């Protein structure tokens, strides 16, 4: 075994134990002599053994290249491997570890079941980058200095790993004090890492129920229904506990299909991005209606941001310090809608929870309730909702004590409610109760001058989240995106940026980097835009936003646009 690996094998094993729960698949470290140094899960039994020749491990060490095998056992290299007849892996990812310009080992990610296989296949680009970062960190940290749990957890390598994971991650020391929190957990728990760093995990209160670790006590939280369950994996180094890795999981049993925010505690307000005519009108209307308690019906196509509009109304209202409770009406079974909306008391019916259930209206008391997809609410639910709206009194199932409500009701739909009323699918009385103020959220194709702003916003978001440095889109790609009709609206645009940031980690993305379904052929056959746009002006504005208004910036902008600097100045003067 390589001396560096041999001297640090226990530290490297601790390192792997930290990384594994975050990545979600098994991880291995193998030296240049094909000796397994460390590993997790089923691979642990192989530590100290020589790995087979002609495997991808062998190929990585000989070539210095990374490999991703989505379905192990099906490639030519797999068929040449000594272990082909007994290979336990569903998928394999291997990346070299280099020290002083030589390949000294590899860091690998292994799938042993279908779930891990799907993970590696779906996130192969991201995991390849993470494997490279981890390989660099191993060479730097174990070959040049001693391993430190705290140094690794607070390192840039760990920052890149945890912030690219689409799950909440919290890492603590052995005394259960918080060391690291990723952006996903910050967003889910509505706090900033700086507020809790160095403090006991218990500071999170009843928002999180801790399970899976003897060293961490869930306290009173285990007797209540918490919003999140945190699965804790204890970490040891040199046979002593050094900390825990916690992965947040939504506790679907506690609050299905719903979200609760308290904007009085938020540091940033919900943003409506756009400066087009339709968006200026929308923002102006939102500001006006926020001041009062009138019921609001938000209409618009899917993906336009109706819940964001509702959040913005709440944030700007006198109720901002109260709760904002969101419920997706279409996701609640008809048999559960009454208990979801109104709640019930102990012993109300067979199989009722021991301590009863708090309904969404009661949770929203003093604030705002947002009923999304109201057009999907079953008729029985419609009648019961109308009863509450008529008198602002809540009667929990099984209770004889009414609760007086002080709740603002905001609803949203992408359906044609007047047509549903006419067809008998939606109660006419309820429609007029809800439709006091109607807000139409414009589709993205009707506000195309906002596309550049949205692209910039989401590029920055995913650059930060994935640890990449996408600068923007080429002029050809940008021109195409401006003409594309965006049937999925802002949600589709956001997904396109996420897709591109998975594939393109730096520079400018071109047409070939867009999702396959966005064929440029489609754009040519699409109808003209409802909102006339000056594409050339938008391209110039985007170029100047990218490179700046300085002389040097304008020179770069002209090159980006494929025009001379004098032409750029001339068109700026004309604009």
Per-residue pLDDT of the chain (575 residues; tens, 9 = 90+): 566 787 778 888 888 888 888 888 999 999 999 999 999 999 999 999 999 888 888 889 999 888 888 888 777 788 778 777 778 999 999 999 998 888 999 999 999 998 888 888 877 777 887 888 888 888 887 776 666 777 778 877 777 777 666 678 888 888 888 888 887 787 777 777 677 788 888 777 666 766 554 445 444 333 344 567 777 778 777 667 778 888 887 553 333 344 555 544 444 568 899 888 899 999 999 999 999 999 999 999 999 999 999 999 998 999 888 889 998 887 777 777 777 888 877 655 555 555 677 888 888 888 999 999 999 988 888 888 888 888 888 877 766 677 888 999 999 999 999 999 999 999 999 999 999 999 999 999 999 889 988 998 999 999 988 889 998 898 888 888 988 889 999 999 999 999 999 999 898 999 999 998 886 644 443 444 444 455 567 677 777 777 777 888 888 878 777 778 887 777 777 55
Do 132 and 223 reside in the same domain of the chain? no
Question: What's the rounded Cα separation, in Å, for the pair 107 and 117?
Answer: 17
Do 69 and 90 reside in the same domain of the chain? yes
Question: Of 440, 455, 483, which marks where a domain is finished?
Answer: 440
Q: Tell me, yes or no, whether 154 lies in a domain.
A: no
Do 246 and 268 reside in the same domain of the chain? no
Q: Tell me, yes or no, whether 268 lies in a domain.
A: yes
Q: Classify residue 511 by its DSSP letter.
A: G
DSSP string across 443-502: PGGG-GGGHHHHHHHHHHHHHHHHT-EEEEE-HHHHHHHHHS--TTHHHHHHHHHHHHHH
Q: What is the CATH number of the domain that holds 431?
A: 3.40.50.300
| N-to-C CA span, the chain | 68
DSSP string across 409-441: EEEEESS-HHHHHHTTSS-HHHHHHH-SEEEEP
Do 279 and 398 reside in the same domain of the chain? yes
* Sheet containing strand 91-99, strands side by side: 36-39, 26-31, 102-111, 91-99, 67-69
Q: Tell me, yes or no, whether 544 lies in a domain.
A: yes
Question: Of 250, 281, 310, which marks where a domain is finished?
Answer: 250
Indicate the SS3 state at residue 138.
helix
What token pair was written down for 489?
A: 């609206």
Question: What's the rounded Cα separation, in Å, for the pair 463 and 472?
Answer: 11
| Domain with 386 in it | 258-440
Do 210 and 275 reside in the same domain of the chain? no
Q: Which residues contact 283 (CB under 8 A, 6 or more apart)?
A: 272
Do 327 and 403 reside in the same domain of the chain? yes
Do 278 and 402 reside in the same domain of the chain? yes
Number of domains in the chain: 4
* Sheet containing strand 228-237, strands side by side: 178-181, 169-173, 240-250, 228-237, 208-211
Do 331 and 427 reside in the same domain of the chain? yes
Please name which of 109, 123, 134 lies closest in space to residue 41, comparing C-alpha atoms. Answer: 109
Q: What's the predicted TM-score (pTM) here?
A: 0.51
Do 514 and 547 reside in the same domain of the chain? yes
Q: Tell me, yes or no, whether 403 lies in a domain.
A: yes
* Sheet containing strand 408-413, strands side by side: 258-262, 323-328, 368-372, 408-413, 296-299, 437-440
Do 341 and 473 reside in the same domain of the chain? no
Let me know: does 90 contact 66? Beta carbons within 8 Å: no
Q: Tell me, yes or no, whether 216 lies in a domain.
A: yes
Do 373 and 484 reside in the same domain of the chain? no
Q: Tell me, yes or no, whether 49 lies in a domain.
A: yes
Q: Tell me, yes or no, whether 23 lies in a domain.
A: yes
What are the distances in angstroms from CA 270 to CA 118, 311, 355, 444? 34, 6, 35, 18
Do 273 and 223 reside in the same domain of the chain? no
């Amino acid at each position: 075994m390589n001396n560096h690996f041999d001297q640090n094998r226990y530290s490297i094993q601790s390192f792997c134990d930290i990384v594994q729960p975050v990545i979600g698949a098994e991880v291995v470290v193998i030296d240049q002599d094909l000796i397994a140094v460390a590993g997790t899960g089923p691979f642990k039994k192989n530590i100290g053994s020589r790995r087979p020749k002609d495997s991808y491990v062998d190929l990585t060490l000989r070539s210095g290249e990374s490999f991703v095998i989505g379905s192990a056992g099906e490639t030519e290299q797999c068929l040449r491997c000594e272990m082909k007849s007994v290979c336990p892996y569903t998928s394999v990812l291997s990346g070299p570890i280099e020290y002083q310009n030589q390949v000294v080992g590899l860091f690998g990610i292994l799938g042993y079941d279908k779930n891990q296989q799907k993970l590696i296949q779906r996130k192969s680009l991201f995991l390849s980058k993470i494997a490279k970062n981890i390989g660099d960190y191993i060479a730097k940290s174990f070959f040049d200095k001693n391993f430190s749990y705290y140094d690794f957890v607070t390192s840039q390598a760990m920052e890149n790993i945890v912030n690219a994971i689409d799950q909440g991650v919290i890492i603590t020391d052995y005394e259960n004090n918080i060391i690291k929190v990723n952006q996903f957990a910050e967003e889910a728990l509505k706090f900033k890492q700086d507020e809790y760093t160095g403090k006991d995990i218990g500071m999170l209160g009843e928002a999180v129920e801790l399970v899976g670790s003897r060293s961490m006590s869930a306290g009173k939280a285990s007797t209540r229904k918490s919003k999140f369950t945190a699965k804790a994996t204890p970490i040891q180094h040199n046979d002593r506990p050094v900390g825990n890795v916690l992965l947040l999981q939504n506790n679907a049993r506690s609050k299905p299909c719903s979200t609760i925010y308290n904007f009085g505690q938020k540091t940033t307000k919900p943003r409506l991005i756009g400066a087009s005519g339709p968006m200026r009108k929308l923002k102006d209307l939102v500001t006006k209606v926020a001041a009062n308690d009138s019921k609001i019906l938000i209409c618009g196509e899917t993906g336009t941001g109706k819940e964001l509009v509702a959040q913005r109304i709440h944030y700007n209202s006198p109720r901002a310090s109260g709760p904002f409770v969101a419920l997706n009406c279409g996701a609640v079974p008809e048999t559960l809608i009454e208990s979801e909306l109104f709640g019930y008391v102990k012993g109300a019916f067979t199989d009722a929870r021991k301590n009863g259930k708090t309904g969404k209206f009661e949770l929203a008391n003093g604030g705002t309730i947002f009923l999304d997809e109201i057009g999907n609410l079953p008729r029985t639910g419609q009648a019961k909702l109308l009863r509450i709206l008529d008198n602002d009194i809540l009667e929990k199932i099984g209770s004889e004590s009414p609760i007086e409500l002080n709740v603002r009701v905001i609803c949203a739909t992408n359906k044609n409610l007047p047509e549903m009323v006419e067809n008998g699918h939606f109660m006419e009385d309820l429609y007029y109760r809800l439709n006091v103020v109607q807000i139409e959220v414009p589709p993205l194709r009707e506000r195309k001058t906002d596309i550049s702003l949205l692209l910039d916003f989401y590029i920055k978001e995913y650059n930060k989240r994935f640890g990449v440095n996408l600068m923007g889109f080429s002029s050809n790609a940008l021109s195409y995106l401006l003409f594309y009709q965006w049937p999925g609206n802002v949600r589709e645009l956001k997904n396109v940026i996420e897709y591109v940031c998975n594939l393109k980690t730096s520079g400018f993305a071109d047409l070939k980097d867009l999702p396959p379904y966005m064929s440029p052929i489609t754009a040519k056959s699409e109808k003209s835009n409802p909102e006339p746009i000056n594409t050339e002006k938008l391209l110039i504005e985007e170029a100047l936003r990218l490179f700046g208004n300085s002389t040097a910036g304008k020179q770069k902008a002209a090159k980006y646009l494929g025009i001379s600097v004098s032409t750029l100045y001339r068109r700026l003067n004309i604009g």
